[in-house]
Structure 1
Amino acid sequence: MSSADWEEVKRLAADFQRAQLSSTLQKLSERNCVEIINKLVELNLIDIYHTNDGKEYVTPAHLAKEIQDEVYVHGGRIEVAELVDILSVDYTVIERMASSLAASDGQLRFTMGQLISFQYMDTIAEEINERLQQTGTTNIPDLVKHYDLPPEVMQDIVVRRLGTIIQGQQDTHDLSLFFTEAFVARHRAHVRGVLSAITRPTQVSTIIAQHGFQQRLFFSVAEKLIESRRVHGILTGNRQIHRAMFIPSIYSRTQNEWVDNFWRQNGYLEFESLRRLDISDPESYIHRRFKDENMTIVGDVCIGQSFIDQIEASLDDALVSGGWVDIYPLLPTSFSPEAGNQLLEIAMKNRQDKKSTANARVFYHTIVVSNTLLTKLTSDIKQLMPARAKEAIDQGAFRQQIGSGKMKQTEDDGGRSKKDDRRKKAAGGKSGGGTQGRETKTKATKNKYKGRKGATHDSDSEDDSQSHQTTNESAGKFPKVEFLTIEALQEEVSNMKELNDCPEELIEEIAADLYQPLTREFQEVVQSAFLATVSVGSDARKKTHQQLQEKVAALITAIRLAEKSIKVFDEEKQLQLKKHLLKTQCSELVNELVLYLADDSLIDFAKEKELSPEMRLKIIKKLSEDTSEQLFAVHKTLSGSTIEDFSTAADEAIAATGIMFKKKDNKKDRQVLSNHRCQLLEQLESSMDAPLTLHLACLVLFQSVTGSMLHASGKFVPHILSHIKNQLPPEKFVILQEYQDLVIKSLTSKDDDTIQSEVKVQLESMAPKVKEIAITFKKSTSISQDAEE
């Protein structure tokens, strides 16, 4: 450097130093600067941004540079929120600048509030490739969780770099799945080995669970293997994991062979058997498999023509010979009776001889019976009808049915009270009705069962009326009377030799089929037989009513005379004797009325048994209302102890029954007493039992002493002896007393055989004396009844 230049440098340095050391003559304040800057911004002369602290300004270019620098410093990925804290600029400004940078700079991408550089994408792509090479497969959901990026961004990052940075391929069916060629090869080999080893239909879900296959990749690999025929079989279920199933060809081939062999050997196929072979639609499968065969579908079974031919041949044999045939034994054991019935119908339709088919009946699904056999069987059973009709009429079954029907009809139609009719009939005499009314001739009155066939009345003019009524109604509707019970009919059917070997079910069905027709025909037979007996029955009915009337009159007289004899005892004994009389004579009277009305009303009851109070009450409840009320009242008095209440109720019951008898007659009373004494004497003479002998002797002596008849049981013997003691000679009373002691001793010492033998000998020796005392007492010592009165 020359001296001149050096001097120039020194001079300039001196000027610079002076400038530095000199003070400013004019300065701008901070406020002025802010105002100037704001004015420039308003005039759009400058473009700047305020910092958050308000002390600095930054230009867009500088802000963009700083953002790019921060992205680089943070490894290619930073969030807008972080830039706000670092650059101290408003969030909206940073966000807008980031979007602008991503749009203008191809190396940046703004998503979900983050700036990401392509360098960062390449970095994570390298990481994904390393992970993919290690595991052999990856998917977008796992990458999204790991890198916290949206699925769309993650999908774009991976897809863009496949074949470059990422060495792998994408599943064509599942775009979110990626895998390497080596993994696909291993997976393909694994799937090929598993599917090749399967010999029966297997659920895909089971295969995947056991071997850990990727679901989507498994379907892709398996379908390719099946298409290339490397694996023989089919996949069903349309890739739905819970429905998909792999069916190997060897199983289908074995399945078809089993079906073919079974069909060829047996001539039929069961749908259930095919379903057990995993054939879901057996009918369609059979049609596809045997499209050239002549087959018939019956229920859940497919049968061949050979079965139909065999059934038709059996039908021909049975119908030509007039017998029966059961085709069920010809069918396989798995066939149901309903399926057999359908086969039978098909075979009968296919028969050429339509006439012979029409002459047959099908029973119990599979049994065919010729009409010839049924006609013969019906004819044999009809031969029993006349005897059965006579039996039904004799036992009153038909008559009872008629009565029940007519009673119901009368109740439904309404009519005048039958109670009033009975009372009018009972009170129709000149002297009134009841137990004291005089019997007189009356005009015909309506029967209590108006219109019932076979009913009769007491008056002379009723016979013609009833006969005319029966004739008019003979063409009417008769009630149903059973010919034979189902069990009896089954027995008759089973006795036919042609049906000896038939199943029990056939007998039951034939009996059920013949029951109604035979019953209807039996109605005509029994109706004809019944109408023939109507006139005879009318006479018998009239006779029965007359007998009842006489018996009731005799019982009323006996009860009245017995009540008179009771009064000679003290009150306690009277009460006991009245109860005994109510249980014996009075109950017999009520029983006669109830039995008559029960027979008249056709009520079924055990006639051979003694009528107990319970049975009597049941019958009374079944009677019509016009008689049941009075009979229930008199029945109720039998459990009491008052003869007067019984007599009142008995008058009402007798009047309701329509019975009439004469008023009190002294001559008749003496005749009753005489008859009663004669009966006692007859029983006494024939008696071989010591207690009974003593009892009868006491009753005879009581009537001889008092002139009144007494109804008393054996327990009253001591009281009767006490009452007649003063009327008997002492020596005779001593004999009776001694005989009584022996009777008591024999009854109380039954366990001691020695005493029993001695007492028996003494009783046998004294019995003639006791009988003699009772028989001869009246003739020698008693006062006659006429003289007493």
Structure 2
Amino acid sequence: MQEYQSTLFHVHKYGEKYFTDTFLNATKAKIRGYFTGVIRPVNLSSVASKLQIPENLINSIVSSLISTGRLYGNLIAGRSGFVPKCYTYAEDTYINSFYSQNGYVEWNYLKRLNIPDPSSYLKTEFPSAIHLPGLTVNPLIVDQLKSLISGVVRDVSWIDLSHYIPNGLDSNERSALVNPLLKDAPVKLLETYLIADKFIERCEAFIDTYLKKKAQTAFHHEHHAILSSPTQQQSVEVNTPKQAVTLSKGGFGFGAREIKTKNVKKKYNPSKRKTSSSSAANDPENNFSSGIGDSQSLIKDLFARYVLMDDVRSILSSQLPSDVPSEVIDQVADVLELTLQQSFIRYIGSLVSPNAGANFDRQKKLQTQEVVNSMVLSLQVIKFSSF
């Protein structure tokens, strides 16, 4: 074959087969005619089977036709698929139109259009856009949101973002778009609403009188439950030092004499091991967590029984302007719930004072104050654990 190549005949080897120039020219014409009429992506293996052409040959011919400019399109997915240029042009036109009309493009949408790397595609197609994880947004929308945030802070008000951001965004995409713009701004994003922190504080002031009355009522009816609840007095006890110093009066008057007593090492007594282990179970530090849990239950029970969130919403609805929607009132009430719990316990604590506790003896007043302190600490634990 090599001896007579280019003298008697012209052949080309593809694998174990030889093809003449006439056959290759006819095959190229057939392949070019087929792929010129293609208007959507096709798989080369299916085309090779349909045209009855070896797959390695069709790959080589399509690649050469594209490189020489005789076929318009691209090979994708490891040269196993062909995408015609008309399809790419229509796809680009559609994506640009969607972006210009809606102001954003979701990456998942591009994956459904068989674009394998939406991030690179969108960064190339829209270099000036803002690219978030899974979302590409028009910078004009971001500039508009920045001005809205400044207006909410300045006016101490709220605003519904559903009129300013794309409707197709879910809660995660909405948070990814808005939260980076908030940073340290005194504004909260609650569902589709931007609400100023001072607006929430003003709402809290509307409920203050109601909260004080409920705290007085709860303290008046529930002081027995408060006195019987576990305290944290045991949890703050300090371990006794190894060497204790006791003061004993040596007679009468000021002639007291200081007597030092040292701990004496006790003899080993096996029978007392179980007793010591059982006393360790009653150790105040071991009971700290259980005391906190009981205090938390008491807080939630008192607050739930005496402070009704429906009443809080009714107060806010009556105090706020009529144009404030119920959704904003519900969101503000949910945000204020932990703060109201803390204020509720603080008001109960203020009732435990020498003037307010005339009906209790000193020991009961101290015990009540310890319970209130325990409840406040428990509430702080709840508040920090929610973040």
CA apart distance, 1:324: 0.6
Residue 290 (structure 1) aligned to one of 107, 126, 131: 126
Task: Kindly indicate whether residue 146 of structure 2 is the aligned counterpart of residue 324 of structure 1.
Answer: no
Query: Which of 325, 335, 354 is the aligned partner of 1:513?
Result: 335
With 510-519 and 329-338 compared, the bigger mean Cα shift is at: 510-519
Q: How much is the aligned-residue C-alpha RMSD, in angstroms?
A: 3.4
Q: For the residues of structure 2 that align with 1:278 and 1:346, how far apart are their CA atoms?
A: 30
Q: What's the counterpart of residue 743 of structure 1?
A: none
* Alignment partner, residue 182 of structure 1: 22
User: Structure 2 matches for 1:532-571, cutoff 5 A?
Assistant: 532=355, 534-536=357-359
Deviations 1:553-573 (A, max 9, x none): xxxxxxxxxxxxxxxxxxxxx
For the residue of structure 2 that corresponds to 1:535, the secondary structure is coil
Equivalent position amino acid for 1:179 in 2: F
SS of the residue 2:105 aligns to: strand
CA distance in 2: counterparts of 1:509 and 1:381, whole angstroms: 15
| Aligned residue number for residue 105 of structure 2 | 269
CA shift, 1:365, in A, is: 5.0
Q: Please report how far the alpha carbon of residue 320 of structure 1 lies from its aligned counterpart in structure 2 after TM superposition.
A: 2.6
Work out whether residues 206 and 315 of structure 2, in 8 Å CA contact, stay in contact via their aligned partners in 1. Answer: no
Equivalent of 2:188, from 358, 362, 365? 362
Aligned match of 1:281: 117
Q: Which amino acid aligns with 2:157?
A: G
Instruction: Look up the equivalent residue of 1:367 and give its one-letter code.
Output: Y
- The structure 2 residue matched to 1:528, chosen from 329, 337, 350, is 350
| Matching of residue 226 in structure 1 with residue 62 in structure 2 | no
Once the two structures are TM-superposed, the CA of residue 302 in structure 1 deviates from its matched residue by 1.1
Corresponding residue of 1:343: 177
Query: What secondary structure, in the 3-state scheme, does the structure 1 residue paired with 2:82 have?
Result: strand
Partner of 2:229: 404
Q: Is the 8 A contact 2:36 2:71 kept in 1?
A: yes
**Larger strand percent:** 2
**Rg larger in structure:** 1
Secondary structure at 2:114 match in 1: coil
Q: Distance in 1 between matches of 2:129 and 2:20?
A: 56
1:170 corresponding residue in structure 2? 12
Q: What is aligned with 2:364?
A: none
Give per-residue Cα distances to partners, 1:465-492, cap 9 Å, x unaligned: xxxxxxxxxxxx9974426255554454
Please tell me whether the aligned partners of residues 363 and 509 of structure 1 are also in contact (alpha carbons under 8 angstroms).
Answer: no
Which AA in structure 2 matches 1:317?
Answer: G
Partner of 1:101: none
Aligned to 2:372: none
| Deviation of 1:212 (Å) | 1.9
Structure 1 Cα separation of the partners of residues 63 and 84 of structure 2: 13
Q: Distance in 1 between matches of 2:325 and 2:48?
A: 60
* Matched-pair contact (CA < 8 Å) for 1:393–1:399: no
Letter paired with 1:265: Q
SS at match of 1:372: helix
Matched-pair contact (CA < 8 Å) for 1:327–1:340: no
Identity of aligned residues (%): 20
Question: Aligned partners of 1:233 and 1:346: how far apart in 2?
Answer: 40
Letter in 1 for 2:345: Q
Alpha-carbon deviation of 1:254? 1.7
Of 23, 32, 41, which aligns to 1:192?
32
Q: Cα gap change, 1:276/1:237 in structure 2, threshold over 3 Å: closer, same or farther?
A: closer
Shift of 1:214: 1.0
C-alpha distance in structure 2 between counterparts of 1:312 and 1:160, whole Å? 78
Structure 1: distance between partners of 2:162 and 2:323: 18
Q: How many residues align?
A: 299
Structure 1 counterpart of 2:307: 484
C-alpha change, 1:511 and 1:229, in structure 2 (3 Å) is same
**Aligned equivalent of 2:168:** 334
Counterpart CA distance in 1 for 2:131 and 2:316 is: 36
Counterparts of 2:92 and 2:70, CA distance in 1: 22
Of 14, 20, 45, 1:205 maps to 45
**Cα deviation 1:244-294 (Å, max 9, x = unaligned):** 110111112222222333333333222223223322212211222233xx3
Q: Normalization by structure 1: what TM-score? A: 0.34
Task: State the SS of the aligned residue for 1:259.
Answer: helix
Shift of 1:362: 0.7
* TM superposition shift of 1:187: 1.4
Structure showing the higher helix proportion among its residues:
1
Higher relative contact order (CA 8 A, sep 6+): 2
Deviation at 1:383, TM superposition (A): 0.9
**TM-score, with structure 2 as normaliser:** 0.66
* Residue-by-residue CA offset, 1:118-164 (whole Å, 9 max, x unaligned): xxxxxxxxxxxxxxxxxxxxxxxxxxxxxxxxxxxxxxxx5556567
Secondary structure, counterpart of 1:278 in structure 2: coil
Instruction: Kindly provide the amino acid, as one letter, of the partner of residue 282 in structure 1.
Output: P
Contact 2:206 2:316 in 1 (8 A): no
CA deviations over 1:45-103 (Å, ceiling 9, x no partner): xxxxxxxxxxxxxxxxxxxxxxxxxxxxxxxxxxxxxxxxxxxxxxxxxxxxxxxxxxx
Structure 1, unaligned runs of 5 or more = 1-157, 350-356, 414-476, 539-789
Task: Please give the alpha-carbon distance, in whole angstroms, between the structure 2 residues aligned to 1:374 and 1:365.
Answer: 15
- SS of 1:384's equivalent? helix
Counterpart code for 1:374: I
Structure 1 Cα separation of the partners of residues 197 and 229 of structure 2: 38
Task: Give how far 1:523 is off.
Answer: 2.1
**Cα offset, 1:306, TM superposition:** 1.4
Aligned counterpart in structure 2 of residue 304 of structure 1, from 125, 129, 138: 138
Q: CA deviation at 1:218?
A: 0.8
C-alpha contact (below 8 Å) 1:364/1:509 kept by paired residues: yes
Is the Cα–Cα contact under 8 Å of residues 268 and 302 in structure 1 kept in the other structure?
yes
